[in-house]
Structure 1
Amino acid sequence: MQNPLKILSSAPHRLGFSLGALLLLGSLLLWGLELLSRHAAQPLVTVIPAMFWHGYVMVYGFFPLFMLGFIYTAGPRWLSVNSPRLLHYAMVLLCFAVGSLFCLAGRWSVLLMGAGIGLHVLAWSCAALIWWQAIYNSNVLDKAHAHCIGVAFSLGALGMLAALYWLLGQQNNAWLWAIEIGVWGLLLPVFLTVSHRMIPFFSQSVLSAYTAWRPLWLLYTLAGCCWVVAILRCLHINTFVFSVVLAVLLIYTSWRWQLVAAWSVKLLAMLHLAFAWAGIGILLWALSDGMQLVGQGGLGFAPLHALTLGFFCTMLLAFVTRVTLGHSGRPLVAGGLAWSTYWLMHGVAAARVLGELIPAWQNGLYLAAALLAVLAIILWVKVYLPMYWQARVDGNHG
């Protein structure tokens, strides 16, 4: 019998996904506890205000671990270079995960929150350097996706530094910079870049008579608009024009990638339906920006949660499920549990968005969203987490 720890460290995605899944579950459990305490009219006694803690943890606490697990596994194939050494990626992932644990406990301690963000800055800076070194060592001609991810990773380090500055200097503007850079500078560009490269590729391998469409102008426009929006939002400048451009492009791309045809294969449909949330989320953002231009106040946090829960979290479940099945030697088929938990996460996103749009239902929908999210991740983790320390069923390495 093989050593589970040796198997866990045999590929970056195994360690990155397992740590990310555990921290995702921990983050959701603590947020669920927060909402339950509010519902019971017995708010938690904490040091860091809920909004500040929730914003940082949900943006930076677990997504980066999944990103590194994927990019350190797939990225070297894109670039035709060697995978990062075990010592390098293990130290980065473990350091970042410990930082996330400190941040979870940081709700009750400024010292732990500061230590956690500091570890994030250190680990993520090293992670970005490892990726840029891989790009430098590569001789392939097409490095467009790699460069976009490299820029996003670099901005992520800047966002974490802004969060550290916020905590040490109690500058609320710095917290805003951290969140805007995290969402628009890091997460959205990375999710869109990986989608641009992989969704047409996966679709072409499954659907008959499918022609992959992923022009570089689309990649550069999507990523560029994200980074411009990040800058403008940090400067408190309305982003209506860029939101409209992004929304139109994303909705058109979803149609061009044949969302309807993808329904014939569940695992592929999961990717396409998750991507559809990107267009919906940015469309809501455009509507909110437009309302603010005419003095109507906007849509609150509805656009943000359509993007983060709707796009990021459903795409995370879809993508990680597919990679986990493929790299564990299992058939690329979405079983009943994967399909059910995936739709639960769609319900989470819908409930959270509706909670912003229907104030009378807000408290109940917030709590329902939190509890559904916990349920979905617990069910997913129960089945898929053990695969990371189990040998591949086909006997291959990796």
Structure 2
Amino acid sequence: MTVGPKLRYFFSQPHQPFFALGLLNAVLFMILFFLAFKGALGVDARLLHSYSMIFLVFTNFFYGFTCTTFPRFSAQPPIEGRRWMRVWALQLLGTLSLLAALALPMAFYAAVIFTLVGVALTLRVFLEIYAAAPEPRQDQYWIVVAFGMAGLSALLFLLAQIPCESCRRGVFFDYAVGVGVWLYLLFLPMVVGLRMVPFFSRVTGCEKSRGLLPLLFVGLLAHVILSNFWLRGLFAADLALALGLGREIWRMELPFPNPDPLLWGLHLGLFWLPLGFFAGATVEFFEAWFGYASLYLPLHLLALGFLTTILVAFGTRVTLGHGGAQLGMDRFGAALLYLTQLVLLSRLALSLAAGYGSVSPWFDISATLWILLWVGWAVKYGKILVAGATR
């Protein structure tokens, strides 16, 4: 079968099909979560939201980045197209399986199995590259560890759904989300961001502290464990992470505020790391001592403030740079970064409203703004992503 030039271009670089699937899923699964939360779909809204966001939205973006950058970090040739395309096909099958699970719950098992196989194939490729890479290999090691945590999280999601009268399935689910969010979804972009943001900003002579990444991993692991046992200890762990990350980013002396919207977005996303952990520690203080219910606010402060902000900026830079367009974000792109902060503020308002026993209208507003963010990005940069700037 002959493949047309447009399709051939679309599959010529790993970030293009992965980003496109991530964009589609970011909109699609937020709409479905909205309907499930409102009771219009007879499915578990928490399961749908957590699994889809971790493995079918952000993971697609992660594959797009790491399949390009991991070989470069390691001074190795690019990954063969046939190898990353298998992972993309598995992600597509995982998406279709989760959609099928809306009507046929057993299809959820297939979605998880496709995810696990994709993670396993990715780890196999990355371990081969890691073994061939010259020293130093610290960043590559922790990227591999983060993907290992993705596999563990997917396995825990699977165990949480297996019928078992004597099993504490809720514990499996809590740890599936905890490992998936803190040790994968947030840790992986920390590893990449703490390396790439100073590089893009042309900051020299300020290497990461040697023990930073293992300490971050231990701190995040403590967060996962303590969140289920000791809220007061959780407050202390997150406060320590906030102070440690704040000190590290302060040492970078990033040129902020920056007139370049791309760099401004990357810097802002990185600054949200200590800010998010500090705000999360503050929320956890009130949860532990006064019983305040925050509706997962610390998680969303980092997932929106750090992860989504830096993803919009990184994704735009990669799309423009690899698509042959002029490297620079215009006013519309800058507006998307501001919109990301509005999504965060609306989610903050949702948690505050939940403390008083209501989520209206902030749930509707935050979900709508999230959808507008990714639709807006697709409208502005989707053509470059799919066909390139000059095609």
Q: Normalized against structure 2, the TM-score is what? A: 0.90
Equivalent-residue separation in structure 2 for 1:144 and 1:231 (angstroms): 25
Counterpart contact for 1:193–1:219, Cα < 8 Å: yes
Per-residue deviation, 1:295: 4.7
Aligned-partner SS, 1:330:
coil
Equivalent-residue separation in structure 1 for 2:210 and 2:18 (angstroms): 29
Equivalent-residue separation in structure 2 for 1:103 and 1:60 (angstroms): 11
Cα pair distance change 1:86/1:211, threshold 3 Å: same
Equivalent-residue separation in structure 1 for 2:124 and 2:234 (angstroms): 31
Aligned-partner SS, 2:12:
coil
Structure 1: gaps (5+ residues)? none
Cα pair distance change 1:177/1:268, threshold 3 Å: same
Per-residue deviation, 1:236: 6.2
Equivalent-residue separation in structure 1 for 2:104 and 2:210 (angstroms): 46
Equivalent-residue separation in structure 1 for 2:31 and 2:41 (angstroms): 17
Equivalent-residue separation in structure 2 for 1:109 and 1:350 (angstroms): 36
Percent identical = 25
Equivalent-residue separation in structure 1 for 2:137 and 2:292 (angstroms): 42
Q: 1:178 aligns with which of 166, 176, 179?
A: 176
Map 1:362-377 to 2 at 5 A: 362-377=359-374
Q: Output the amino acid matched with 2:269.
A: A
Instruction: Specify the alignment match of 2:211 in structure 1.
Output: 217
Per-residue deviation, 1:2: 6.9
Per-residue deviation, 1:235: 5.7
Instruction: Specify the alignment match of 1:251 in structure 2.
Output: 246
Map 1:281-300 to 2 at 5 A: 281-297=276-292, 299-300=294-295
Q: Deviations over 1:190-221 (max 9, x none)?
A: 0110111101111117xxxx654423322332
Q: Does 1:8 align with 2:5?
A: no
Instruction: Specify the alignment match of 1:203 in structure 2.
Output: 201
Q: Output the amino acid matched with 2:379.
A: K
Aligned pair count? 382
Per-residue deviation, 1:391: 4.0
Instruction: Specify the alignment match of 1:126 in structure 2.
Output: 121
Equivalent-residue separation in structure 2 for 1:200 and 1:57 (angstroms): 31
Equivalent-residue separation in structure 2 for 1:142 and 1:392 (angstroms): 36
Counterpart contact for 1:281–1:303, Cα < 8 Å: yes
Q: Deviations over 1:86-122 (max 9, x none)?
A: 1110011121222023224423431222211121111
Instruction: Specify the alignment match of 2:186 in structure 1.
Output: 188
Q: 1:24 aligns with which of 23, 26, 30?
A: 26
Instruction: Specify the alignment match of 2:340 in structure 1.
Output: 345
Aligned-residue CA RMSD (Å): 2.3
Counterpart contact for 1:287–1:298, Cα < 8 Å: no
Q: Output the amino acid matched with 2:40.
A: L
Of stretches 350-359 and 188-197 in structure 1, the one that deviates more from structure 2 is 350-359
Of stretches 348-357 and 232-241 in structure 1, the one that deviates more from structure 2 is 232-241
Per-residue deviation, 1:157: 0.2
Instruction: Specify the alignment match of 2:304 in structure 1.
Output: 309
Counterpart contact for 1:201–1:212, Cα < 8 Å: no
Equivalent-residue separation in structure 2 for 1:330 and 1:113 (angstroms): 40
Per-residue deviation, 1:392: 5.7
Map 1:109-188 to 2 at 5 A: 109-138=104-133, 140-169=134-163, 171-188=169-186
Q: Normalized against structure 1, the TM-score is what? A: 0.89
Equivalent-residue separation in structure 2 for 1:108 and 1:310 (angstroms): 34
